[in-house]
Amino acid sequence: MASNKKYWKSVEELNENSSIVETLRNNEFVEQIPVDEFLGDKDSLANASTSRRDFLKYVGFSTAAASLAACEGPVVKSIPYVVQPEEVIPGVADYYATTIADGFDFANILIKTREGRPIKVENNKLEGAVSSANSRVHASVLSLYDSLRLKQSKIAGKDAAWSEVTSKIKSSLEDAKAKGGNVVLLTNTMASPSTDALIADLIAKYPTVKQVVYDAVSETNALDAFQSVYGVRGLADYDFSKSDVIVSVGADILGDWQGGGYDASYAKGRIPKQGKMSKHIQIEANMSLSGANADKRIPLNVTEQKIALADLYSAIVNGSTPKNAEVAKAAKQLSAAKSKGVVVTGLDDKDAQLLVLAINAKISSEAFNPSAARLTRKGDAKAVAQLVTDMNASSVHTLIMSGVNPVYTLANSKEFVAGLKKVKLSVAFSMKEDETASITNIAAAAPHYLESWGDVTLSRGHYSVMQPTIRPLFDTKQLQEVLLSLTENAASYHDYLKAFAASQLNGKSWNQTVHDGFSVAEVAPLSTSDVDASASASKLASSKTTGLDLVLYTKTGMGDGQQANNPWLQEFPDPITRVSWDNYATVSKADAEKLGLENWNEANGGLNGSYVTLKVGNATLNKVPVIIQPGQAKGTVGLAFGYGKTASMKQEMQVGVNAYALYTNLNANQTVSIAKEEGEHEFACVQLQKTLMGRGDIIKETTLEIFNSKDAAVWNPVPMVSLDHKDTPATEVDLWTSFDRTTGHHFNLSIDLNACTGCGACVIACHAENNVPVVGKDEVRRSRDMHWLRIDRYYSSQDTFDGDNKLKGGTSGLMDSVSTLSAMEDPAENPQVAFQPVMCQHCNHAPCETVCPVAATSHGREGQNHMAYNRCVGTRYCANNCPYKVRRFNWFLYNKNSEFDYHMNDDLGRMVLNPDVNVRSRGVMEKCSMCIQMTQAVKLNAKREGRLVKDGEFQTACSAACSSGAMIFGDVNDKESQVATLVEDDRMYHLLEHIGTKPNVFYHVKVRNDK
């Protein structure tokens, strides 16, 4: 019998005469959908052709910033697609090739977009791509959504339309032309041939215009040396995979030296194959990434480095023997390697750079490639100095700046500001109302590179294209668009670029080049001129020490400081010191004792330190915190650029001191005086322990000689445990009943300690992919950082890790062991260093799973340890039971929490979030998921296409970001896969294997070439 019972959803429905009920019945949406705001005029819409970028006009469920290209504010309402573009499938990511070229970082990359929002950077893995995205490149997608960006151009501090801006600039140019006044276009290195052509057109129309190229971190001396020899203002390229012996004198080849990106070729030669691997000798003052990875590190001050380089030259050319025994040994090995050797230097000295060019030419180094010269550094320190002089002499009529912030980055900033007041019209094209843009007559709002068209010549013969992946979020214009207006060219920059590129594409079509991101052509060898290298060698050999050396450098996280308002980079721990949210003066232990400087740990684990005053000439930096750095050369002080910014910066990110104030004449090597100040500084350091203390089953390492001559059981022993009172290999003992894992996929991650350089690109890639929150300095100091992936850094207590093992092995009795291990917490003056990425090990027998009272953490059949956030009640039993300490607890609601004013707290910043990954709430445990959303997407895509998954398709964020090849992810059940081969390698071991957790992450024993 049918029921006549009445069901209702609202009390209002019981009122039959209610108008509200009728409205609800007939309308899906209670409020009128704001279609007009997005679609504009119907007629124009009907006649419009829709590109993949135009769809942003019509899309809903977004903030107005992305929806309407040039936004006012966030949209609360959600609307459906009215016209869905063919290229966009909700829930499916699109990837577009482009190129980053911000004047400091240059690379061919891919941009992952979701529903029109760029959310992640990937390496472009096409053959020929110059792709080695570092941590800054991976973080650059977040800078697109910086809420403090300059949203509209300003004239005299007031909002202005672009027509007004262009008119004012044009009037000034006409006035300068009539009066013969000088016009200077001050730009960073754009390496853009189409922009060069536009500037040439501007000069043709206004003959008094000249361009000055200014790089905040200058390579002037290296550029001058290369230009004098090869006739091109560029820098030699290097392929370190072709070297058996690498000798670096002050060059951080794994950091930002000459633009960086050398880690991939370096790592190829560092993995032992057929009994061979390259030998790396590093001579330097600061402990760098390169020094930390070297087989032999020789700490010397700047003067000693110059003498060492002169001795190397004399040994190679004249057969003489250097006085320094370690340098003599390096010279001998370099001579024996012949063309398989290479020498590089980072000394800020033209003579030093000339010597290196001469040495590599003399030995016919295969790794040395001047013909493929890098063109991403073109700054001229002398021209910049002359510009400041001219400005103060009132001989500059108009100054147009783009991509530079000299008020912040020039050591003689006060002189520049004084000169700026004497310029009739000053214009700054900038993304931010920074230190310079805030005091110019016109602050022209510039777009982010992900909103821009462009081209870049990264090296001779390598032409790259930059394409926008989103419509401009604000009322911005590229410099190139304005140059076209000033030269009365009616074409858009896109059309101009497409026409210009026809002669640059090397046989490719325009569409194919945009698709690939680049095209490559053969280049003719560069002719050389004779260099009087002996004169340079004599000059360097007679160098004298005049006091303490200040060595200025760039951190792998912060670079030159362009992205100082990026919280991912601020919270990124420095690979060497493991300190985030700061820069600091690094000093040796010996110098610290002389000056009474200290570092100490508080009871809560926080690191504290002394303050110093640094003085270079008349420039002084006060309240500079100190880190006592193992391996720092005596008589030297290190200090990183990129900090101390205040303009257009959130309060929380106004940290550190401005090292550019000491960057006199754009030279990174200065003589400095140092004095202790009162007070103590609180650091946010994520690694309390300093040394490995003989923990040989955490980082296993051996020498190349032992690796070649001994059985794997000697250098990679399987730990033994007691079973029935007998020593038994830990791999044969099991506390749990295993199940068959051979059916379906079973994921493993391989980490090669020889290839890992500690660069940290994987850490930022994980941030982006998995919506990892930023917690701020105070919380990091409390050991509450939320990084799913950390890179542990260990020092040796003795000169080598082998010495540590022998010291520990020689102890007898409990008290002797305790006192010995306590003493081993003190690193050697020049320690060996090891890096180890650690994330959730995804144990097949996971101790976290057995203690969770609500089964929030459980094991998947494919080897991944899952987290059901909705089940988690925050007992933290799992964190206590995890031997790897890789679980992170949400102490606060980082999303939309006013206590944590970072990108997750405004609508614009949240646009970077990956919709495939939960944004976790307060009170839950979180950790690495082995990027399960990525593996699922690969499986679904293959299923849709009716095929098997190919090897290399499965990736995690960290493995995809690792340009050195240290991280390889895949399915071990696919016996043809790379990871299945690696798991059978003799160097393979598991972390803490003796506890029987059977992880799905495995490592490869580190091998050092100590010959």
pLDDT at 546: 83
Residue 467 Cα to chain centre, angstroms: 21
pLDDT band at 814 (very low <50, low <70, confident <90, very high): low
Q: Of all helices (H) and strands (E), which one includes residue 967?
A: strand 967-971
SS3 of 5, please? coil
| Predicted confidence (pLDDT) per residue in 61-91, tens digit | 334 444 443 333 333 445 566 676 777 777 8
CB neighbourhood size of 407 (10 A):
20
What's the mean pLDDT in 583-596?
A: 93
Dihedrals phi, psi of 870, to nearest 5 degrees = -70, -20
d(CA 222, CA 235): 7
Torsion from C-alpha of 437, 438, 443, 449, nearest 10 degrees: 50
The secondary structure element, H or E, covering residue 594 is helix 589-595
Mean pLDDT value across residues 452-464: 92
Burial class (CB in 10 A: 0-12, 13-18, 19+), 976: exposed
User: Cβ contacts of residue 454 below 8 Å, gap of 6+?
Assistant: 99, 101, 192, 194, 195, 465, 466, 478, 480, 497
The residue to which tokens 């490559």 are assigned: 520
Phi, psi of 211 (to 5 degrees): -100, 135
- Sign of the alpha-carbon dihedral angle for 961, 962, 965, 967: negative
Which residues on neighbouring strands pair with residue 97, listed in sequence order? 110
Full DSSP string of 215-248 = -SS--HHHHHHHHHHHSSSSEEEE-GGG-SEEEE
CA dihedral 994, 997, 1002, 1006 (to 10 degrees): -20
Residue 810 neighbours by CB distance under 10 Å: 9
Separation of alpha carbons 497 and 491, rounded Å: 10
Instruction: Please report the pLDDT score of residue 1010 as a whole number.
Output: 82
pLDDT at 69: 39
For the cut 60, the answer to whether the pLDDT of residue 830 exceeds it is yes
- What's the whole-number mean pLDDT along residues 33-40? 48
311-325 in b/e form (b: 16+ CB < 10 A) is: bbbbbbbeeeebebe
Q: Where are the beta strands (DSSP E) in 645-746?
A: 669-685, 701-703, 720-723, 726-729
Residues belonging to the chain = 1011
Kindly report the number of other CB atoms within 10 A of residue 34's CB atom: 14
Q: Nearest-5° angle of CA 268, CA 273, CA 276?
A: 95
Handedness of CA 932, 936, 938, 939 (dihedral sign): positive
Give mean pLDDT, residues 368-383: 93
Start-to-end CA distance of the chain, whole Å, equals 93
Q: Which of 608, 603, 639, 635 is nearest to 624 (CA)?
A: 639
Q: Is the pLDDT of residue 29 over 80?
A: no
The tens digit of pLDDT for each residue in 592-637 reads 999 999 999 888 778 999 999 999 999 999 999 999 999 999 999 9
* CA gap 731, 998 in Å, rounded: 8
Between 85 and 430, residue with greater pLDDT: 430
- Count of alpha carbons within 13 angstroms of residue 445, beta-carbon side: 22
Tell me what pLDDT residue 57 has. Answer: 42
Mapping DSSP to helix (H, G, I), strand (E, B) and coil, where does residue 157 land?
coil
Please state, in angstroms and rounded to a whole number, the distance separating the CA atoms of residues 687 and 574: 11
Q: Is it the case that residue 56 has pLDDT exceeding 70? A: no
3-state secondary structure of 838: strand
How far, in Å, CA of 556 to CA of 758, rounded? Answer: 10
Looking only at Cα atoms, what is the longest distance across the chain?
A: 110
Three-class secondary structure of residue 936 per DSSP: helix
Rounded CA-CA distance 748/756 in Å is: 17
Q: Let me know: does 694 contact 808? Beta carbons within 8 Å.
A: yes
pLDDT value, residue 507: 81
Q: What pLDDT, on the 0 to 100 scale, is given for residue 555?
A: 93
The first and second tokens of residue 923, run together, are 């009170």
Residue in the structure block whose two tokens are 């966030």 = 74
Q: Please, what sign has the CA dihedral across residues 863, 869, 871, 877? A: positive
Average pLDDT over residues 675-679: 93
DSSP string, 30-81: SSPP-HHHHH--HHHHHTPPP-TTGGGGT--SS-HHHHSSS-SS--------
Tens digit of each residue's pLDDT (9 = 90 or more) over 760-793: 999 999 999 999 999 989 899 988 999 999 999 9
Helix-helix angle 302-318:325-337, to 10 degrees: 40
Q: How many CB atoms lie within 10 A of CB 777?
A: 18
Position 13 pLDDT exceeds 70: no
Predicted local distance difference test score (pLDDT) of residue 959: 93
Tokens, residue 118? 């760029």
Q: What is the pTM of this model?
A: 0.89
